Amino acid sequence: MVDEQGMRSRVDELIAEMTVAEKAGQLTQYFYFRLPAGSEVDPEPGLDVAGQPAMVESVLGEGAAGSLLFVTDPAEINRLQRLAIDGHRLGIPVLFGFDVIHGLRTILPVPIALAASWDPAMIQRGQAVAAREARAVGIHWTFAPMVDIARDPRWGRMIEGAGEDPFLGAVVAAAQVRGFQGPEIGAPEGVVACPKHFAGYGAALGGRDYDEADVSESALWNVHLPPFAAALEAGAGSVMTAYMDLNGIPATGDRWLQSDVLRGALGHAGFVVSDANAVRDLVTHGFARDLSDAGARALGAGVDMEMAIADAAYAHLPDAVDRGMVSEETLDVSVRRVLEAKLRLGVFETPYVDEERAREVLGDPAHREVARIAAERSAVLLRNDGGLLPLDAARANSIAVIGPLADSRRDTLGPWCFDFDLGETVTVLEGIVSRSGGARVDCAPGIRPAQRVFPSMFDMFGNNAPRDPENFDDDAELDRAVAIAAGADVAVVVVGEWQNMIGESASRSSLELPGRQLELLQAVVATGTPVVLLVMNGRPLDLRWAADHVGAILDIWYPGTQGGTAVANLLFGDVSPAGRLPFTWPRTVGQVPMVYSHTVSHQPQKQAQRYWDEQSTPLFCFGHGLSYSRFEYGEPSVDRATISPGEAVTVSAEVTNVGARDADEVAQLYIHQRHGSASRPVRELKGFARIALAAGESRAVSFTLGPAELRHWNAAARDWVIDASTFDVWVGGDSTATHSTTFEVTET
Ligand code: BGC
Query: Per-residue pLDDT averaged across 491-500, rounded?
Result: 98
Query: Per-residue pLDDT averaged across 12-32, rounded?
Result: 98
Which pairing describes strands 663-673 and 725-732: parallel, antiparallel, or unpaired?
antiparallel
For ligand 1, atom 2: residue with the closest CA: 275
| Residue among 95, 98, 101, 143 whose CB has most ligand 1 atoms within 8 A, to mutate | 143
What b/e sequence results for 297-335 when a residue is b if at least 16 CB atoms lie within 10 Å of its CB, and e otherwise? Answer: bbbbbbbbbbbbbbebbbbbbbbbbeeebbeeebbbebb
* pLDDT at residue 42, as a whole number: 59
* pLDDT at residue 43, as a whole number: 59
CB 275 near ligand 1, within 6 Å: yes
* pLDDT at residue 395, as a whole number: 87
| 139-143, 284-288, 462-466: range with lowest mean pLDDT | 462-466
Query: Per-residue pLDDT averaged across 458-484, rounded?
Result: 92
CB 504 near ligand 1, within 6 Å: yes
Q: How far apart are CA 694 and CA 692, in angstroms?
A: 7
275 noted as active-site residue = yes
What is the identity of the amino acid at 735? Answer: S
Question: Which residues make Cβ contacts (< 8 Å) with residue 208, sequence separation at least 6?
Answer: 154, 155, 507
Q: At what angle do helices 563-571 and 428-435 cross, to 10 degrees?
A: 50
Chain segment 299-343, per-residue pLDDT in tens: 999 999 999 999 999 999 999 999 999 999 999 999 999 999 999
Measured in angstroms, how far is the CA atom of residue 372 from the centroid of ligand 1?
27
Query: Does residue 50 register a pLDDT over 90?
Result: no
Chain segment 698-712, per-residue pLDDT in tens: 999 999 999 999 999
Which pairing describes strands 249-250 and 245-246: parallel, antiparallel, or unpaired?
antiparallel
Give the helix/strand (H/E) hosting 226: helix 226-233
**With pLDDT > 90 as the criterion, what percentage of the chain qualifies?**
95
| Residue among 33, 70, 194, 275 whose CB has most ligand 1 atoms within 8 A, to mutate | 275
User: Do 481 and 519 touch, CB atoms closer than 8 A?
Assistant: no
Measured in angstroms, how far is the CA atom of residue 307 from the centroid of ligand 1?
9
Chain segment 359-415, per-residue pLDDT in tens: 999 999 999 999 999 999 999 999 999 899 999 988 899 999 999 999 999 999 999
Measured in angstroms, how far is the CA atom of residue 403 from the centroid of ligand 1?
32
Query: Per-residue pLDDT averaged across 121-150, rounded?
Result: 98
Query: Does residue 47 register a pLDDT over 80?
Result: no
CB 143 near ligand 1, within 6 Å: yes
